[in-house]
Amino acid sequence: MNNGPFLFLGSFVALLLSWLGLVVVPQVQLRDLQPVKNDTTGKYYPLQRLGLARQGAEVYRANACYTCHSQQVRQEGYRFRAVLEKVGTNETELATALMKLNPRWQQSDAELFAQAEGEALTDMEHLTLQQKASLEARFDSTKVSEYGAKLRFDFIPTGADIEVRKWGVRASVAADYLYDDPLMLGSQRIGPDLSNVGNRWPEAGWQLHHLYHPRTKVEGSTMPDYRFLFEKRRIGAAPSPAALQLTGDLAPADGWEIVPTADALALVAYLQSLKVTEALFEAPTTVAP
Amino acid sequence: MSSQPANAKSLTTDTITVSGRWAFLGLLGGAACWLAVAGVLGLIASIKMHSPTLLADSAWFSYGRLKAAAGGAFNFGFATQAAIAIALWLAAVLGRTTVKLPLLGAAASKAWNLGVVLGVAGILYGDGTGIEGLEFPRYAVGVLLFAFIGLALPVFVTFHNRTVRELYPSLWFVIAGLFWFAWLFSATSLLVHFWPVRGVLQAAVQGWFTNGFVVVWLFPIAIALLLYLRPALSGVSIPSRATVLLAFWSLAFIGPWGGIATGTPLPAWVGALSTSMSSLIVIPIFALCSSVGGLKPARSADPFAAISWKFADFSFLALVLFGVLTAINSFTAVYRLTQFTFVTAALQSLALYGVVLTALLAGAFQILPKIAPPSAMCARVGGLLLWVSRCGIALLILSLLLAGLQQVLALASAASFADATTASKMWFRMSTMGELLIALSGLMFLAYVCSTTFRALKAEYASCAWCGAGAKPAEVAS
């Protein structure tokens, strides 16, 4: 290959394709993404962070906290449960209607379902989002409401991040980061995922002590101390109400106290603002009972 | 070959190298400084993994800032500068021409270093952008973009003035790599700093850049060097140009697609496509293997030939390992377990240290001894650097891989997350030893470049018209 222009043109096309595929097309696909309104609460999701939480995002960025903490919950699939919330009055008709759902069910099974209010009629795992509509339609086709009965459908996200580590209630999706700038998804989990930490650890006191000396709250933690976010100062006329209550080796000398700086308070406000529980069209969720 | 001018035939690799000595010394000197800085910053960060109270009172030395600064110093300070030095050298040597615009290259390297200083200091100060791999603040990136023009120009002008019209395969990779980097860096900088895209689209830009930076910028330069060095030090020509052609085009059309993980909160097809394409990276690597993989070094009295060969061998082995592990890691069943663990960090270190660092050092040990005649001590330092860096890199990659696998096993057995990380502490200590050896390699390389610069200056000074006669290096009129 001795043709310079051909080499240049080929190289240009090669990178152009990846540029279009990985950068331009997702931009076109997501450029109209808007906050969505929750019909029940009337609130929009997501909302922009304001005030202290917004300042805290800057502290999070400046200290590159994303090096150790991800902000993306992974999900492996869905579990579908159809729960008979109300049996109604016509149990025989209800049993007959439910029999249509599964040919393997015997008359005795259906009668048992008809008598068991609050029971799950089915519990299916390893499902995809695409199966949601067809499953719901199948159960709706029984028209059990005509007999005064009521079915509830649970579509529960599954996966170790959600079920074992309880880091979130559903997978993270593009809409969750609509106002994140910069986007700090993180690529490693030296520490736990923080996408929903505002719900998991809402107490500011816990967060502040954890930042000052993580091992006071999590035994064996490898997280470095962030003491530069705190100020050691002489106690004035009265101890500061914001001072950390430290014991043992960590306690300051008599007459001294450890108080969080504005950066520490902002960072904690940011952590408290990290909440992802809203069910979205592309990420439906029913919290597992 | 018949079109070669008569004076080009008199050019030897030594005279060509000497013609661009100030550009090479400027670029490799800056690269060596940043390798040492990156090594020291990486070492402190690594110690903090098992001694979390170390430097806890200093915001400048928080773990995240140190890691980001070390990454920036290595990628932009060391790897990019050294890669441009190698690209310039290959363009001149394979084009049988003297280095053009060497002083522009030397001056641009100073501007580039200023940009890296601003970037690293900016991150440590707390001005990092928050986007992994692209943390340099806007004021640093502006300087780097400007300086890059000055760095790339001598390579393109030298390439344009080549006297051998036939393009040796290394030059395909050099020219395409430089072009790809210019596009990657400028387009990404615009989308991060000047017209930022919103929300999760930043992840698409970041993934495209961080993967492309390694796979279509640093890897092509490393491959170009391997394609030149292995046959040159074996005393044979490239056994099969057809397979190298396959390697080039498959790398061009597959390489830039990686970098976006499955499960990233982008449309699902983006992650799926990107991960599938990552698995195909074995195609260019195996094509390369079948072309120059089986070569053996020719007997040589030159100790630097042996050092370069061993560095290149290590780099080649690491490249093959990287391809195989990346392909395995692309399977959903595997990736679901290894994502976010130290396995990812191990793969990154394998690419940056295992493949890129060793290849660039192999090239540096071909350039520097030709600029100023080395002493016996230089060869000993080179030999020691070879061993220390190879041990450090192997130790770091192995410990990160083991830490990652332990994390995977602990998480699979439903152990608490804190327990899974604590279980890997022993491997963190081992990785600190690796980081220490890499930092020592950086310092040794810096000492070697300083010594070469000193000897080159001494030779230049001795030959100065104002100061009397002296032994002028084998310079040629450009």
Contacts of B428 in chain A (CB under 8 A): 222
Say if residue B464's pLDDT is above 80.
no
A160 touches chain B (CB under 8 A): yes
Taking the CA atoms of A208, A211, A213 and A216 in sequence, report the sign of the dihedral they define: positive
Contacts of B421 in chain A (CB under 8 A): 190-191, 222
Q: What is the pLDDT of residue B344?
A: 93
Residue B379: exposure state from Cβ atoms within 10 A (0-12, 13-18, ≥19): middle
Spell out the alpha helix ranges (H) of A119-273. 131-140, 160-163, 197-200, 204-212, 262-273
Q: What is the pLDDT of residue B470?
A: 46
A185 touches chain B (CB under 8 A): yes
CA–CA dist B66, B64 (Å, integer)? 5
Q: What is the pLDDT of residue B5?
A: 52
CA of A167: how far to CAs of A158, A193, A196, A222, A269, in Å?
12, 6, 6, 19, 19
Under 8 Å between Cβ of B426 and B341: no
Q: What is the pLDDT of residue A132?
A: 84
Question: For A29, how many CA atoms within 13 A lie in the half-sphere containing its CB?
Answer: 17
Please judge whether A18 and B256 are an interchain contact, meaning their C-beta atoms are less than 8 angstroms apart: yes
Best B183, B192, B200 residue to mutate vs chain A (most A CBs within 10 Å): B200
In sequence order, the β-bridge partners of residue A231 are A259
Please judge whether B128 and A221 are an interchain contact, meaning their C-beta atoms are less than 8 angstroms apart: no
Q: What is the pLDDT of residue B7?
A: 58
CA–CA dist B164, B149 (Å, integer)? 25
How many Cβ atoms are within 10 Å of A284's Cβ, its own excluded?
Answer: 16
Nearest to B179 among A11, A29, A171 (CB): A11
Virtual torsion, Cα B215, B218, B219, B223, nearest 10 deg: 160
- Measure A4 CA to nearest chain B CA, in Å: 8
Please judge whether A220 and B68 are an interchain contact, meaning their C-beta atoms are less than 8 angstroms apart: no
Contacts of A24 in chain B (CB under 8 A): none
- Measure B1 CA to nearest chain A CA, in Å: 13
A33 touches chain B (CB under 8 A): yes
Q: What is the pLDDT of residue B302?
A: 83
Strands A230-234 and A44-45: unpaired
CA–CA dist B17, B366 (Å, integer)? 9
B281 touches chain A (CB under 8 A): no
Q: Report ipTM for this prediction.
A: 0.91
Asked whether the bond before A182 is cis by omega within 30 degrees of 0, the reply is yes
Is the backbone of residue A74 left (phi > 0), alpha (psi -120 to 50) or beta? beta
Per-residue model confidence as pLDDT tens digits over B120-140: 999 999 999 999 999 999 999
CA–CA dist B352, B415 (Å, integer)? 32
CA proximity to A123, closest of A95, A99, A102, A145? A102
B:31-60 residues touching chain A, CB 8 A cutoff: 48-50, 52-54, 56-59
Per-residue model confidence as pLDDT tens digits over B265-296: 999 999 999 999 999 999 999 999 998 888 88
Under 8 Å between Cβ of B8 and B158: no
For chain B, what is the mean pLDDT? 91
- pLDDT average, residue stretch B235-255: 92
Please judge whether B199 and A183 are an interchain contact, meaning their C-beta atoms are less than 8 angstroms apart: yes
- Measure A74 CA to nearest chain B CA, in Å: 6
Question: How many CB pairs below 8 Å do chains A and B form together?
Answer: 222
Total residue count of chain A as it appears in this document:
289
Q: What is the DSSP letter of A252?
A: P
Q: What are phi and psi of A97, to 5 degrees?
A: -65, -40
CA–CA dist B157, B161 (Å, integer)? 6
Residues of chain A falling short of pLDDT 70: 1, 110-111, 114, 287-289
Q: What is the pLDDT of residue B373?
A: 84
Strand order in the sheet with A120-127: A120-127, A77-86, A150-158
Is the backbone of residue B243 left (phi > 0), alpha (psi -120 to 50) or beta? alpha
CA–CA dist B96, A269 (Å, integer)? 63
Please judge whether A183 and B344 are an interchain contact, meaning their C-beta atoms are less than 8 angstroms apart: no
Q: What is the DSSP letter of A201?
A: S
- Measure A158 CA to nearest chain B CA, in Å: 14
CA–CA dist B397, B345 (Å, integer)? 8
Sequence-distant (6+) residues with CB within 8 A of B39 are B70, B435, B438, B439, B440, B441, B442, B443
Per-residue model confidence as pLDDT tens digits over B182-234: 999 999 999 999 888 989 999 999 999 999 999 999 999 999 999 999 999 98
Contacts of A161 in chain B (CB under 8 A): none
Percentage of chain B beyond pLDDT 70 is 94
Task: Spell out the long-range contacts of B411-418 with Cβ–Cβ below 8 A and sequence spacing 24 or more.
Answer: B411/A160, B411/B337, B411/B341, B412/B337, B414/A160, B414/A164, B417/A165, B417/A189, B417/A192, B418/A192, B418/A218, B418/A219, B418/A220, B418/A221
Instruction: Return the residue of A nearest to B156 by Cα.
Output: A4
Helix (H) or strand (E) holding B189: helix B169-189
Say if residue B474's pLDDT is above 70.
no
A66 touches chain B (CB under 8 A): yes
- Measure B65 CA to nearest chain A CA, in Å: 6
Contacts of A185 in chain B (CB under 8 A): 200, 203, 264-265
pLDDT band for B11, please (50, 70, 90 cuts): confident
Please judge whether B165 and A2 are an interchain contact, meaning their C-beta atoms are less than 8 angstroms apart: yes
Contacts of A64 in chain B (CB under 8 A): 62-65, 67-68, 123, 128, 130, 135
A256 touches chain B (CB under 8 A): no
CA of B264: how far to CAs of A186, B186, B259, B417, B420, in Å?
10, 24, 10, 21, 23
Per-residue model confidence as pLDDT tens digits over B22-38: 999 999 999 999 999 99
Please judge whether B267 and A183 are an interchain contact, meaning their C-beta atoms are less than 8 angstroms apart: no
- Measure A224 CA to nearest chain B CA, in Å: 4
Which one-letter amino acid corresponds to residue B252? Answer: A
Q: What is the pLDDT of residue B42?
A: 97
Q: What are phi and psi of B128, to 5 degrees?
A: -60, 150
Please judge whether B131 and A223 are an interchain contact, meaning their C-beta atoms are less than 8 angstroms apart: no
A162 touches chain B (CB under 8 A): no
CA of B84: how far to CAs of B112, B180, B364, in Å?
11, 13, 11
B:140-159 residues touching chain A, CB 8 A cutoff: none
How many Cβ atoms are within 10 Å of B466's Cβ, its own excluded?
Answer: 5
Which one-letter amino acid corresponds to residue B451? Answer: S
Nearest to B267 among A29, A66, A228 (CB): A29
CA–CA dist B469, A43 (Å, integer)? 85
- pLDDT average, residue stretch B85-111: 95
Q: What is the pLDDT of residue B244?
A: 94
- Measure B207 CA to nearest chain A CA, in Å: 9
Virtual torsion, Cα A127, A128, A130, A131, nearest 10 deg: 0
Please judge whether A64 and B216 are an interchain contact, meaning their C-beta atoms are less than 8 angstroms apart: no
Under 8 Å between Cβ of B410 and B419: yes
pLDDT band for B238, please (50, 70, 90 cuts): confident
Instruction: Return the residue of B nearest to A250 by Cα.
Output: B53
Tokens of B282: 């074995």
Spell out the alpha helix ranges (H) of B198-262. 201-212, 219-234, 241-254
Please judge whether A4 and B201 are an interchain contact, meaning their C-beta atoms are less than 8 angstroms apart: no
Q: What is the pLDDT of residue B8?
A: 56
CA–CA dist B288, A104 (Å, integer)? 58
Under 8 Å between Cβ of A67 and B63: yes
- Measure B43 CA to nearest chain A CA, in Å: 15
CA–CA dist B32, B408 (Å, integer)? 36
Best A6, A15, A45 residue to mutate vs chain B (most B CBs within 10 Å): A15
Under 8 Å between Cβ of A156 and A83: no
pTM (2 d.p.): 0.92
Say if residue B461's pLDDT is above 70.
yes
B:343-382 residues touching chain A, CB 8 A cutoff: 344-345
Contacts of B176 in chain A (CB under 8 A): 7, 11
- Measure A242 CA to nearest chain B CA, in Å: 20
- Measure B76 CA to nearest chain A CA, in Å: 18
CA–CA dist A101, A96 (Å, integer)? 10
Residue with tokens 């048992």: A112
B332 touches chain A (CB under 8 A): no
Please judge whether B132 and A67 are an interchain contact, meaning their C-beta atoms are less than 8 angstroms apart: yes
Report the range of poorest mean pLDDT among A220-234, A256-270, B3-17, B438-452. Answer: B3-17
CA of A122: how far to CAs of A118, A137, B9, B183, B256, in Å?
12, 14, 83, 54, 45
pLDDT band for B441, please (50, 70, 90 cuts): very high
Please judge whether B199 and A22 are an interchain contact, meaning their C-beta atoms are less than 8 angstroms apart: no
Strands A77-86 and A256-260: unpaired
Is the backbone of residue B124 left (phi > 0), alpha (psi -120 to 50) or beta? alpha
CA–CA dist A26, B266 (Å, integer)? 7
Q: What is the pLDDT of residue A152?
A: 86
Q: What are phi and psi of B113, to 5 degrees?
A: -65, -35
Asked whether the bond before B231 is cis by omega within 30 degrees of 0, the reply is no
The DSSP code sequence of B363-390 is HHHHHHHHHSPPPHHHHHHHHHHHHHHH
- Measure A141 CA to nearest chain B CA, in Å: 31
CA–CA dist B350, B356 (Å, integer)? 9
